[in-house]
Structure 1
Amino acid sequence: MTSQKIKKLGIVVLLFLLLFFYKCPFQTITGIPCPGCNMTTSLYYLLHTDMERSLYYHALLIPTMLIFLACVYFRKNEKIIKILLIIWCILMIAYYIYRMIMYFPNSPMVYDRNSLIYFIFRHI
């Protein structure tokens, strides 16, 4: 197998693992959802053409995909990429704060009682 084929196979395996077996490390440790939590669920519903549920789980999935595509398109212009990423970060933080105020600890921003911190405090 050539080096290029091994890299492509590695990317496919990594994407498969991320899509089907990924567990958010931030939520696994703290129990609190991270800014990107539920984005995979949102992608699942988007791929199944259920736009309402997709937006319910994470409304910034589509803007995130568009910004990613724009970064790929403008990959040679670092200034545009930097501006796009700053805009994306501001949107993600603002949306995260909104979701934590409005939804936490209810769906879709649930507290994970199987987290490491919850386990430690439960046994102290």
Structure 2
Amino acid sequence: MDSQKTKTLGIVLILFLLLLFYKCPIQSVTGLPCPGCNMKTSLYYLLHFKFSLSLYYHALLIPTIVVFVWIVFNYKNHEQTKKLLMIWAILMIIYYIYRMIVYFPNNPMMYSKENLIYFIFRHV
């Protein structure tokens, strides 16, 4: 196996493990949901063919999967990958702002009291 395939396989494995065992560092520190929050829940419902629930928890899951697959299989085309990542990042930011305005602090964009800042101020 050549070096580039090994790197790609390693990245895929790390991302897969993060998807399974990931705890959001932004929410762990601030208690606020991040732009990717609820993506794992959305994936769960997508895999169980509950598409409306999947879209409710994170509507950009499917575009994120498409971008990820594009990067894995077209990693040599740097210009198109950069443009695709820029478009994806802008969409994620716009969707995050929308979700924070419409849903926060209710489900699915909930504030978590199990965070570092809340812990520090509770004990000071």
TM-score range, shorter chain: 0.7 to 0.9
Distance in 2 separating the partners of 1:101 and 1:46? 25
Distance of 1:23 and 1:94 partners within structure 2 = 23
Structure 1: state its 5+ residue gaps: 1-7
CA distance in 1, matches of 2:75, 2:51: 29
Alignment RMSD, CA only?
Answer: 2.4
Within 5 Å, give how 1:15-94 maps onto structure 2: 15-16=16-17, 18-19=19-20, 21-94=21-94
Deviation sequence 1:94-119 (CA, Å, 0-9, x none)? 00000011111100000000111111
Runs of at least 5 residues in structure 2 that lack an aligned partner in the other structure? 1-8
Taking structure 1 as the reference length, what is the TM-score of the superposition?
0.84
Give the alignment's TM-score, normalised by structure 2: 0.84
1:99 aligns with 2:99: yes
Give the equivalent residue in structure 2 for 1:5: none
Whole-angstrom CA distance in 2 between matches of 1:72 and 1:12: 12
Say whether the 8 Å CA contact 1:71–1:84 is kept in structure 2: no
Q: How many residues align?
A: 118
Please list the CA deviations of residues 24-69 of structure 1 after superposition, one character each: whole Å capped at 9, or x if unmatched: 1110110000000100010011011110110010000000011112
Percent identity of equivalent pairs? 63
Letter in 2 for 1:76: K
